[in-house]
Structure 1
Amino acid sequence: MATDYFADIPTITYRGPETDDEFAYRWYDKDRVVLGKTMAEHLRFAVCMWHTFCWPGSDVFGPGTFQRPWAAHAHTPEGAAMKRDAAFDFIRRLDVPFYCWHDVDVSAHATNVADCGRFFGEAVAHLEQLQADSGIALLWGTANLFSDPRYAAGGATNPDPEVFAWGAMQVRAALEATHRLGGANYVLWGGREGYETLVNTDMKRELDNLGRFLALVVEHKHKIGYTGAILIEPKPFEPTKHQYDFDTATVYGFLKRYGLEDEVRVNIEANHATLASHTFEHEIATASALGIFGSIDANRGDYQNGWDTDQFPNSVEELTRATLEIVRAGGFTTGGFNFDAKVRRQSIDAADLFHGHIGGIDTVAKSLLNAAAIIEDGRIDAFRAQRYAGWDGELGRTIHTEGTGLADIADLAIARNLDPQPRSGRQEWLENLLNRF
Structure 2
Amino acid sequence: MGTPFIGKREYFPGIGRIPFEGPASDNPLAFKHYDAKRKIGDRTMAEHLRFAVCYWHSFGNAGHDPFGPGTRVYPWDADAAPLVRAEARMDAAFEFFTKLGVPYYCFHDIDMAPDDDDVGEYEANLRHMVALARERQQATGVRLLWGTANLFSHPRYMNGAATNPDFAVVARAAVQVKAALDATVELGGSNYVFWGGREGYASLHNTHMKRELDHFARFLAMARDYGRSIGFEGVFLIEPKPMEPMKHQYDFDAATVAGFLHRHGLAQDFKLNIEANHATLSGHTFEHDLQVASDHGLLGSIDANRGNAQNGWDTDQFPTDLYDAVGAMLVVLRQGGMAPGGLNFDAKVRRESTDGEDLFLAHIGGMDAFARGLEVAHALLTRSPLEKWRAERYASFDEGAGRDFEQGRFSLAQLRDFAAGHGEPAKRSGRQECYENLLNQYLLR
TM-score interval w.r.t. the shorter chain?
A: over 0.9
1:17-28 alignment to 2 at 5 Å? 17-28=23-34
CA contact (8 A) 1:196 1:240 kept: yes
- Percent identity between the two aligned chains: 52
* CA–CA distance in structure 1, aligned partners of residues 409 and 36 of structure 2: 51
Q: Is the Cα contact below 8 Å between 1:150 and 1:163 reproduced in 2?
A: yes
Tell me, what secondary structure is at the counterpart of 1:77? helix
Of 373, 377, 384, which residue of structure 2 is paired with 1:367? Answer: 373
- Whole-Å Cα distance in 2 between the matches of residues 407 and 222 of structure 1? 50
- Match of 2:75, SS state, is coil
Asked whether the 8 Å contact 2:397–2:406 carries over to 1, the reply is no
Matched, 1:151 2:160: no
Q: Distance in 2 between matches of 1:418 and 1:99?
A: 59
Q: 2:92 aligns with which of 86, 97, 107?
A: 86
Q: Report the more deviating stretch, 378-387 or 398-407.
A: 398-407
Alpha-carbon distance in structure 2 between the residues aligned to 1:387 and 1:3: 60
Q: Deviations over 1:396-422 (max 9, x none)?
A: 2322345643334434444x4454222
Does the Cα contact within 8 Å between 1:231 and 1:266 map onto a contact in 2? yes
Partner of 2:289: 283
Match of 1:226 in 2: 232
Aligned residue for 1:27, secondary structure, equals: coil
The 3 A distance-change label for structure 1 pair 398 and 53 is same
**2:185 aligned partner, one-letter code:** H
CA distance in 2, matches of 1:304, 1:74: 39
3-state DSSP of counterpart to 2:73: coil
**In structure 2, what is the equivalent of residue 270 of structure 1?**
276
- Which stretches in structure 2 are left out of the alignment for 5+ residues? 1-6
Give the alignment's TM-score, normalised by structure 1. Answer: 0.97
Structure 1 Cα separation of the partners of residues 413 and 79 of structure 2: 72
- The equivalent residue for 1:407 is 413
Quick check: 1:236–1:246 contact (8 Å CA) kept in 2? yes
* Greater alpha carbon shift after TM alignment, 79-88 vs 57-66: 57-66
Tell me how large the CA RMSD over aligned residues is. Answer: 1.5
1:72 Cα deviation from its structure 2 partner: 4.1
Tell me which amino acid in the other structure corresponds to 1:371. Answer: A
Contact persistence 1:75–1:109 (CA under 8 A): no
AA aligned to 1:420 is P
Q: Is 1:246 the counterpart of 2:286 in the alignment?
A: no
Q: Secondary structure at the match of 1:318?
A: helix
Distance (Å, rounded) in 2 between the aligned partners of 1:156 and 1:226:
21
> In the superposition, relative to structure 1, how do residues 98 and 74 fare at CA in structure 2: closer, same or farther (>3 Å)?
farther
C-alpha displacement of 1:177: 1.3
Shift of 1:188: 0.3
Task: For 1:421, give the aligned amino acid.
Answer: A
Contact map agreement 1:235 1:246 (CA 8 A) in 2: yes
- Counterparts of 1:252 and 1:44, CA distance in 2: 24
User: Secondary structure of 1:140's partner?
Assistant: strand
Query: Is residue 2:330 matched to residue 1:330?
Result: no
1:139 lines up with 2:113 in the alignment: no
- Does structure 2 retain, via aligned residues, the 8 Å contact 1:319–1:367? yes
Q: Which amino acid aligns with 2:227?
A: K
> In structure 1, which of residues 80, 97, 119 is the aligned counterpart of residue 103 of structure 2?
97
Paired residues for 1:59-138 under 5 Å: 59-73=65-79, 76-138=82-144
Choose from 359, 364, 388 the match for 1:358: 364
Q: Is contact 1:74–1:83 with CA below 8 Å preserved after alignment?
A: no
The offset of 1:173, in angstroms, is 1.2
Deviations for 1:303-348, whole angstroms, at most 9, x for unmatched residues?
1011100000111122112211211121112111100000111111
Q: TM-score when scaled to structure 2?
A: 0.95
What code does the residue aligned with 2:42 have? G
Match of 1:185 in 2: 191
Equivalent position to 1:426, from 423, 431, 435: 431
Q: Closer, same or farther in 2 for the Cα pair 1:109/1:221, shift >3 Å? A: closer
Q: Unpaired segments of 5 or more residues in structure 1?
A: none
Q: Does the 8 Å CA contact 2:11/2:76 hold for their aligned counterparts?
A: no
- Measure how far apart 1:373 and its partner are: 1.6
What is the deviation of 1:389? Answer: 1.6
Q: Select which of 298, 308, 331 maps to 1:302.
A: 308
CA distance in 1, matches of 2:433, 2:106: 40
Does the C-alpha gap of structure 1 residues 74 and 98 become closer, same or farther in structure 2, counting only changes over 3 Å?
Answer: farther
Instruction: Please state how far the C-alpha of 1:13 moved relative to its aligned partner.
Output: 1.2
Write the deviation string for residues 103-137 of structure 1: whole angstroms up to 9, x where unpaired.
00000121201101100100111111111110000
